[in-house]
């Protein structure tokens, strides 16, 4: 069996503000033969996630940036084609951070096997993958929802937010979502079972959120920032918890937002209401993966958690799909199908 030629998308330039298709480059090259202690993987599905925007910048963050000319970082579900790695056999399905490419050669580190009997293998990138585990660990460890409380989640139709709200309902809470557009709001309420959902594109966002949360907000799960956070902040109850997962409204910012300095008001409310704001990365709770998989897969089987995947066909469409993700154009977990 000859080693196939690889197609991969590399970072061609660091974007200023909103990324452009020209910031990426699709190249083709011959893969090296996988030597002893290596495995050859064929990518089936590639995950596109908002955190990737930060990895395109050169600045210091919780993870190193992608260097110019390197393969774009990203999680993928792959099939093992050849292997001399202990525990990996041809035909195995694995998930790992192998990036935006059609094939990968690996020593097996960082891979986990995916059980196709548990759910469609693409869910290892969504509801049963990093986004689902982000929702599970962030809400339960930091949000600490209690029966009867109100949980508000931004980007409620997305891969993380949709799971947050459904777990909140499972835990006996009132779940209120914020999403972009009436179609997404209808899905959040009618399909996912949230108690309410507010369209953040409406000019009366703050008033409508207040109407949906007559008893205030006990947990605000932050995925967005911007106007959504500004609408939620005055409604936070004393001792409210704010797990900060993402700030997608600001990922393309090139300067501070205009207007007055809002920091003093924020800190005043943190103090007077004794608020808990804590940022987190899903890896902070890596030891909880078995518990997350067991609980969440059970809730899916029981019909208590539903999910939606937005699948784009073809590796070459990843850049434009990713740019759309940062504008909220996706509907559900955004995945690229690289191969059948």
pLDDT tens-digit map of 132-176: 999 999 999 999 999 999 999 999 999 999 999 999 999 999 999
Predicted structure pTM score: 0.91
What pLDDT is attached to residue 1?
63
The residue count of the chain comes to: 340
State how far Cα 138 lies from the chain centre: 12
State how far Cα 27 lies from the chain centre: 26
Question: What percent of the chain shows pLDDT beyond 90?
Answer: 85
Question: What is the H or E stretch that residue 134 is in?
Answer: helix 130-137
Among positive and negative, which fits the CA dihedral 245, 57, 10, 88? negative
Both tokens of 194, joined, read: 């949230």
- Is the pLDDT reported for residue 233 higher than 90? yes
What pLDDT is attached to residue 66?
95
Read off the DSSP letter of residue 71. B
What pLDDT is attached to residue 118?
83
- Is the pLDDT reported for residue 76 higher than 90? yes
- Mean pLDDT taken over the chain: 94
Contact 235, 217 (CB under 8 A): yes
Read off the DSSP letter of residue 54. H
Tell me the average pLDDT across 192-205.
96
Both tokens of 224, joined, read: 């967005």
Q: Please classify residue 8 by burial: count the beta carbons closer than 10 Å to its beta carbon, then call 0-12 exposed, 13-18 middle and 19+ buried.
A: buried
What pLDDT is attached to residue 262?
83
Output the CA–CA distances (angstroms, integers) from residue 327 to 163, 221, 222, 323, in the order listed. Answer: 20, 19, 17, 7
Tell me the average pLDDT across 67-87.
96
Q: How far apart are CA 73 and CA 337, in angstroms?
A: 16
Q: 36: Cβ–Cβ under 8 A, 6 or more apart, which residues?
A: 84
What pLDDT is attached to residue 63?
81
Q: 309: Cβ–Cβ under 8 A, 6 or more apart, which residues?
A: 122, 123, 126, 332, 333, 335
Measure the CA angle with vertex 274, ends 272 and 279; round to 5°.
125
The residues facing 28 across adjacent strands are 7
Question: What is the H or E stretch that residue 51 is in?
Answer: helix 51-55
Tell me the average pLDDT across 76-92.
96
């Amino acid at each position: 069996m000859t080693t196939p030629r690889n197609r991969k998308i590399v970072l061609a330039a660091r974007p200023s503000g909103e990324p452009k298709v020209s910031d990426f480059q699709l190249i083709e090259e011959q893969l090296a033969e996988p030597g002893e202690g290596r495995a050859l993987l064929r990518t089936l599905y590639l995950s596109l996630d908002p955190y990737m925007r930060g990895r395109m910048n050169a600045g210091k963050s919780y993870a190193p940036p992608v260097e110019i000319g390197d393969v774009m970082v990203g999680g993928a579900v792959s099939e093992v084609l050849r292997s001399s790695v202990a525990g990996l056999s041809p035909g195995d399905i694995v998930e790992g951070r192998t990036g935006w490419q059609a094939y990968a050669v690996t020593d097996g580190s960082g891979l986990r096997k995916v059980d196709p009997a548990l759910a469609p293998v693409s869910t290892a990138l969504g509801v049963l993958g990093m986004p689902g585990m982000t929702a599970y660990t962030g809400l339960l460890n930091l949000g600490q929802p209690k029966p009867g409380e109100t949980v508000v989640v931004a980007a409620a139709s997305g891969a993380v937010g949709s799971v947050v709200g459904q777990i909140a309902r499972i835990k006996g809470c009132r779940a209120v979502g914020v999403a972009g557009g009436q179609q997404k709001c209808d899905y959040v309420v009618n399909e996912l079972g949230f108690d309410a959902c507010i369209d953040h594109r409406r000019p009366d966002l703050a008033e409508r959120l207040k109407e949906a949360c007559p008893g205030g907000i006990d947990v605000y799960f932050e995925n967005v920032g911007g106007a959504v956070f500004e609408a939620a902040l005055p409604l936070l109850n004393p001792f409210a918890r704010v797990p900060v997962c993402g700030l997608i409204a600001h990922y393309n910012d090139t300067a501070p937002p205009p207007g007055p300095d809002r920091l003093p008001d924020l800190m005043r409310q943190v103090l007077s209401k004794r608020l808990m704001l804590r940022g987190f990365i899903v890896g902070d709770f890596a030891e909880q993966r078995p518990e997350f998989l067991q609980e969440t897969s059970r809730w899916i089987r029981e019909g208590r958690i539903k999910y939606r995947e937005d699948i784009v066909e073809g590796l070459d469409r990843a850049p434009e799909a990713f740019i759309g993700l940062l504008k909220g154009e996706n509907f559900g977990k955004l995945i690229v199908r690289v191969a059948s």
